[in-house]
Amino acid sequence: MNALAALRAWPIDRRDALGMALWDADALAVAMAGTASGAFQVSGVEIDSRDVRSGDLFFALKGETMDGHRFLDKAFANGAAAAVVDRPVDYPHILVADTNKALEMLAAAARDRCGARRIGVTGSVGKTGVKEAIFAALDRASRGHTHRSVRSYNNHVGVPLSLARMPVRSHYGVFEMGMNNAGEISGLTAQVKPHVAVITTIAPAHIENLGSIEAIADAKAEIFEGVMPGGTAVIPADIPQFAQLRDAAKARGVSIKSFGRSADADVRLLDTIPAANGGALVTADLGDRRLCFTVAEPGEHWVSNALAVMAAVQAVGGDLGAAGLALAEMGGLKGRGARHQIAAHSGKALMIDESYNANPASMRATLRALGQTPATRRVAVLGSMKELGDFAPRFHGQLAEPLAEANVDYAVLVGDEMKALAQDLGKGAGGALAAGLSFAHCEGPAEAISALEEFGITAGDAILVKGSNSVGLGRLVAHFTARS
């Protein structure tokens, strides 16, 4: 088939006849029960004047200490086409009673006008990576008509913003939902109304606020409350909280598709072997078929993530072959697994950037991946894990064992909470498995940079950088990658 014939054979979708603009003034006014100052069209939606690009609609949101109306001049200087405001202004605008409420109303209108199949993703670990992988899998087969929340826009502002940005032509929408306390996901899933709800895993993230693993599972299971009739819950089969999640989904009348190594999993791992690029070659049983595919991302946790992706794609009737190709081409995200070749004595060293987030489960998973990474020496720069409350000393101290199992040669421990691990490592031969490991305990990123430079990075080193975002280890990554 020549190129012209291929173009003629390209499948036609009814959505191809829809307009290209994201929103026009009339649709915005109806959606938000507001009044338009005139006719205009917008190509995007933004809430931060610094991020506004040409053609965007700027929401002048109001908080306890901040009023977005103060930044209208900046937004329009950056190219805003119009704004949503609660008072008349001299710029093109939609006048509403409450700009924060208007954003939620626009999100609901975007959801309801679009025939996209929606997927909601939550979990204690891996939700951003899984969200991105599902997006890549569905976008590949939908001719670019898949939408998703960007970055970690997963809270009470980020979720409606992500919905409001969804083009009417979208075939699929993938939305991340996060929480710090019980009841938060309940509100987010009511906005998204997903056809498929994915829970990646349950781990002691935010245990300071919720008190127990069981309470965390209950909070994550709130995502099932918003699932559309006939929808599907994608849940991990290999965790102790499986029955708890399963029963919560059943109580909402949601179908269940489990994933994992368990013999009863609906998407079941049959085999996995290391791939040449550091990832894995995976064979999975999906019930009606077996599928062999490559996962580019390294680490056993990404094998589990890949099964969740396949389960979600299957649940929305997506192309599993395209999903396999997308997983084979996935690259690490900034702060969540991105790999950098950095300057080192006599050559290059590998720096693995996991600086955006950390909890006990993800720490263990990434240290395990570091141990499987070929290297002359392995270095771990570990920042404090936040929101662990009274559990913090125990969970930090327990990292000694995974450090030893990963054959780490040198550790840089950053933050007050890491004192427990430093004490455990300093016990001597009669102490922890990793006692005797060379390490430095630092107050912050600047001191950690100095410690790492004093240690001396040499060719062939593999350096893992992981911690909660508030520790600021992204500065350390930026320092060494910029130098390269």
Please compute the mean of the pLDDT values over residues 283-290 and round it to a whole number: 96
Q: Supply the pLDDT for residue 430.
A: 38
pLDDT digit string, tens, across residues 292-306: 999 999 888 999 999
Please compute the mean of the pLDDT values over residues 32-59 and round it to a whole number: 97
Q: Among 394, 483, 399, which residue's Cα sits nearest to residue 441?
A: 399
Q: Supply the pLDDT for residue 429.
A: 43
More confident residue, 191 or 4: 191
pLDDT tops 70 at residue 159: yes
> What does the mean pLDDT of the chain come to?
93
Please compute the mean of the pLDDT values over residues 168-188 and round it to a whole number: 96
CA 29/CA 14 separation, integer angstroms: 25
pLDDT tops 80 at residue 197: yes
∠ CA 56-60-61, nearest 5°, is 120
With respect to CATH, is domain 3-99 assigned 3.40.1390.10? Answer: yes
pLDDT tops 80 at residue 221: yes
User: How far is CA 6 from each of CA 2, 10, 340, 441, rounded to the nearest angstrom?
Assistant: 6, 6, 39, 61
pLDDT tops 50 at residue 66: yes
Three-class DSSP category at 1: coil
Q: Which residues sit opposite 333 in a β-bridge?
A: 336, 337
pLDDT tops 60 at residue 291: yes
More confident residue, 372 or 37: 37
pLDDT tops 70 at residue 4: no
CATH superfamily of 338-483: Mur ligase, C-terminal domain (3.90.190.20)
Please give the model's pTM, rounded to 2 decimal places. 0.85
DSSP 257-319: EEEESSTT-SEEEEEEEE-TTSSEEEEEE-SS-EEEEEE-S-SHHHHHHHHHHHHHHHHTT--
User: How far is CA 239 from each of CA 53, 242, 268, 417, rounded to the nearest angstrom?
Assistant: 44, 6, 14, 27
Q: Among 362, 314, 291, 344, which residue's Cα sits nearest to residue 129?
A: 362
Q: Supply the pLDDT for residue 426.
A: 81
Which uninterrupted H or E stretch holds 84?
strand 82-85
pLDDT tops 60 at residue 14: no
Angle, helix 184-192 to helix 213-221, in steps of 10 degrees: 20
Q: How confident is the model at residue 471 (pLDDT cuts 50, 70, 90)?
A: very high
pLDDT tops 50 at residue 431: no
CA 282/CA 275 separation, integer angstroms: 9
Please compute the mean of the pLDDT values over residues 455-475 and round it to a whole number: 96
**39 CB-near residues (< 8 Å, 6+ apart):** 24, 25, 26
Three-class DSSP category at 437: coil
* 434 within 8 A of 400, measured Cβ to Cβ: yes
Domain 114-329, what architecture? 3-Layer(aba) Sandwich (3.40)
Q: Where exactly are the structural domains of the chain?
A: 3-99, 114-329, 338-483
CA 218/CA 244 separation, integer angstroms: 8
Q: Supply the pLDDT for residue 334.
A: 84
Q: Supply the pLDDT for residue 437.
A: 87
One fold for 3-99 and 338-483: no
DSSP character at residue 11: P
pLDDT tops 80 at residue 135: yes
Please compute the mean of the pLDDT values over residues 90-94 and round it to a whole number: 98
Q: Supply the pLDDT for residue 276.
A: 73
pLDDT digit string, tens, across residues 390-418: 999 999 999 999 999 999 999 999 999 99
Residue 131's Cα: distance from chain center in Å? 6
CA 138/CA 148 separation, integer angstroms: 10
Longest dimension (CA), the chain: 76
pLDDT digit string, tens, across residues 110-133: 999 999 999 999 999 899 999 999
What amino acid occupies position 186?
S
Q: Supply the pLDDT for residue 53.
A: 97
Share of the chain above pLDDT 90, in %: 83
Share of the chain above pLDDT 70, in %: 94
pLDDT tops 60 at residue 24: yes
**449 CB-near residues (< 8 Å, 6+ apart):** 475, 476, 479, 480
